[in-house]
Amino acid sequence: MREGVTLYDTTLRDGAQTQGVDFSVEDKRIIAEALDRIGVHYIEGGWPGANPTDDAFFADPPALKRARFTAFGMTKRSGRSAANDPGLAALLSSRAPALCLVGKSWDYQVDVALGIPRSENLDNISESIAAAARAREVLFDAEHFFDGYRANADYAFSAIKAAQDAGASWIVLCDTNGGTLPEDVYRIVSEVKLRLPNARLGVHAHNDTEQAVAVSLAALRGGARQIQGTLNGLGERCGNANLCSILATLMLKDDYASRFDTGVTADALKQLTPVSRLLDEILNRAPNRHAAYVGPSAFAHKGGLHVSAVQKDPATYEHVPPESVGNRRHILVSDQAGRSAIMARLAALGIEVQSSDKRIARLLEDVKSREFLGYAYDGAEASFELLARRALGQVPSYFTVESFRVMVERRHNALGNLVTISEAVVKVNAGGETFHNVATGNGPVNALDHALRKDLGRYSSYLQDLRLVDYKVRILTGGTEAVTRVMIESADAAGNRWSTVGVSENIMDASFEALSDSICFKLYRDGAPS
């Protein structure tokens, strides 16, 4: 008999409090629907009454199939009745079927932050929960519970007891400052479970010692049955508990999978990586390469020995199959790699060729000498694929650039403001025609990109939805001269992403090389005619 574990996502509320995160109503809808497809139980949409975005989001809530849409807010303030508290009123007027109310459980916070008698804080908790529970399901977030329990266990306990008695459906124990260690969390949750056996306990952990996932699992072992967290661990300071890592661990590790049931299907778990990347896409961030389970490097193999073993049986260097979380295996090519890595990599790309083929030896030499010059094919898989396919004569020459010129001019405009303007001129041959393209941009690389793609004749239609999503520059000091390496990440409307690389002593040359590779890769992948 497995016990149920309830998953509560707070990406749209706690995650939204992160520096540099500013979700639109539409962003919130897309994320909520994606979380619903995975099968989490509660989706906290935000804090109605706190800002216009959340008001709009709650006025027109997303259509969720399974998850309970939840509104977050505070227990009432002192000196007002629950019926007259504007915060509670905003919460109750939202259409969310569940409400989560946060209240203080650490005596020190009551004394210092609220400055009210401790008994009054308890009254505020019970009156707020009781008023809300008459209308909806109410969860209670016990803020700073673990710190409060260490300081004054009886007071912390009386806060959650008040919420439980008033009708809270879940008592969520929060490690608000994120500093509590897993062993303490396990001990405290176990004690609370003994003292309040009928309560349904949850945990809300922050990642300030990088153990929020471990803390959440410790709470589960101690008796908590709800885990709160965010996609990719998004959250202020060091982040919240990472729901991606927690869900994958609960489902793929026997110790948990044999005891607990998340209700998420094995098929839905395959959405984990796409949903993790979707959040990055919305935030316009590159994915964390080394994120557990879902990171692009989570199943990447580089060393020659590892690669040949993984070829024989992936379990030699993989703790779970990448497909189980919707991720995939990457065989990296590097100067450490031998022929087996190149062959594995070509096989992964669907390229069939004999390893005895002379062109493979030449490709290997080419990769090694280019990496010596500063090319990095680990992070530029599209450039590697082009290099390999060109070596095998599979990539047509779509266009050739005869010349390009880039100008950057800083001057006063007609309004007397100082402006910097970039303009690029590219002379390019494509499909037997010659084009002179001129374009401006918000910087020299942007202008060069616009000019290169402005008119490529028969190929232009293939490039409509191509956009550059990341541009990275590194100065490498190797050999006798400093060289510049440019890595470009591109994306298209179908959600494909690919990375290309260029290396030169000149930053514009390096950028141009990476840009051309990006364009060629898209033309090749989309089957443009030669």
Minimum distance, C-beta of residue 240 to Zn ion, in the bound complex (Å): 6
Residue (of 194, 122, 127, 113) closest to 156 by Cα position: 122
Taking CB under 5 A as the binding criterion, the range among 9-17, 142-150, 290-298, 397-405 that sits at the site for Zn ion is 9-17
Minimum distance, C-beta of residue 206 to Zn ion, in the bound complex (Å): 6
Q: Which of residues 453-472 bind Zn ion (CB under 5 A)?
A: none
Distance, CA of 42 to CA of 221 (rounded, Å) = 21
Minimum distance, C-beta of residue 230 to Zn ion, in the bound complex (Å): 9
Minimum distance, C-beta of residue 24 to Zn ion, in the bound complex (Å): 22
Question: Is 14 among the residues that bind Zn ion (CB under 5 A)?
Answer: yes
Question: 16 vs 363, which CB is nearer to Zn ion?
Answer: 16
Distance, CA of 465 to CA of 288 (rounded, Å) = 25
Minimum distance, C-beta of residue 327 to Zn ion, in the bound complex (Å): 27
- Give CA angle at 265 (264, 267), nearest 5°: 130
Question: 142 vs 488, which CB is nearer to Zn ion?
Answer: 142
Taking CB under 5 A as the binding criterion, the range among 10-18, 59-67, 138-146, 511-519 that sits at the site for Zn ion is 10-18
Minimum distance, C-beta of residue 10 to Zn ion, in the bound complex (Å): 7
Residue (of 10, 67, 2, 4) closest to 200 by Cα position: 4
What contacts 243, CB < 8 A, 6 or more positions away?
7, 9, 11, 40, 227, 229, 230, 231, 233
Question: Is 517 among the residues that bind Zn ion (CB under 5 A)?
Answer: no
Q: Quick one: which H or E segment has residue 331?
A: strand 330-331
Binding track, positions 153-172, relative to Zn ion; x by CB under 5 A: --------------------
Minimum distance, C-beta of residue 278 to Zn ion, in the bound complex (Å): 22
Question: 14 vs 513, which CB is nearer to Zn ion?
Answer: 14
Residue 388 has which token pair?
């390999």
Distance, CA of 356 to CA of 351 (rounded, Å) = 14
Minimum distance, C-beta of residue 284 to Zn ion, in the bound complex (Å): 24
Question: 146 vs 384, which CB is nearer to Zn ion?
Answer: 146
CA within 13 Å, CB half, 384: 26
Question: 14 vs 147, which CB is nearer to Zn ion?
Answer: 14
Distance, CA of 7 to CA of 359 (rounded, Å) = 52
Question: 14 vs 517, which CB is nearer to Zn ion?
Answer: 14
Distance, CA of 429 to CA of 105 (rounded, Å) = 71
Question: 174 vs 387, which CB is nearer to Zn ion?
Answer: 174
Question: 178 vs 182, which CB is nearer to Zn ion?
Answer: 178
- Its sign, for the CA torsion 127, 130, 131, 133, is positive
Q: Is 237 helix (H, G, I), strand (E, B) or coil?
A: coil
H runs (alpha helix) in 167-291:
182-195, 212-222, 243-252, 254-257, 266-269, 272-283
Question: 204 vs 301, which CB is nearer to Zn ion?
Answer: 204
Minimum distance, C-beta of residue 461 to Zn ion, in the bound complex (Å): 48
Taking CB under 5 A as the binding criterion, the range among 14-22, 117-125, 134-142, 396-404 that sits at the site for Zn ion is 14-22
The residue at minimum Cβ distance from Zn ion is: 14
Total number of residues that touch Zn ion (CB under 5 A) = 1
Taking CB under 5 A as the binding criterion, the range among 13-21, 64-72, 94-102, 485-493 that sits at the site for Zn ion is 13-21
Taking CB under 5 A as the binding criterion, the range among 8-16, 112-120, 243-251, 346-354 that sits at the site for Zn ion is 8-16
At 354, which amino acid appears?
A: Q
Question: 9 vs 14, which CB is nearer to Zn ion?
Answer: 14
The rounded Cα 316 to chain-centroid distance in angstroms is 28
Minimum distance, C-beta of residue 18 to Zn ion, in the bound complex (Å): 11
Minimum distance, C-beta of residue 252 to Zn ion, in the bound complex (Å): 26
Taking CB under 5 A as the binding criterion, the range among 7-15, 212-220, 245-253, 434-442 that sits at the site for Zn ion is 7-15
Question: 94 vs 240, which CB is nearer to Zn ion?
Answer: 240
DSSP readout, 44-113? Answer: EEE-TTT-HHHHHHHHS----SSSEEEEEEEPPPTTS-GGG-HHHHHHHHS--SEEEEEEE--HHHIIII
Contact 343, 360 (CB under 8 A): yes
Residues that bind Zn ion (CB under 5 A): 14
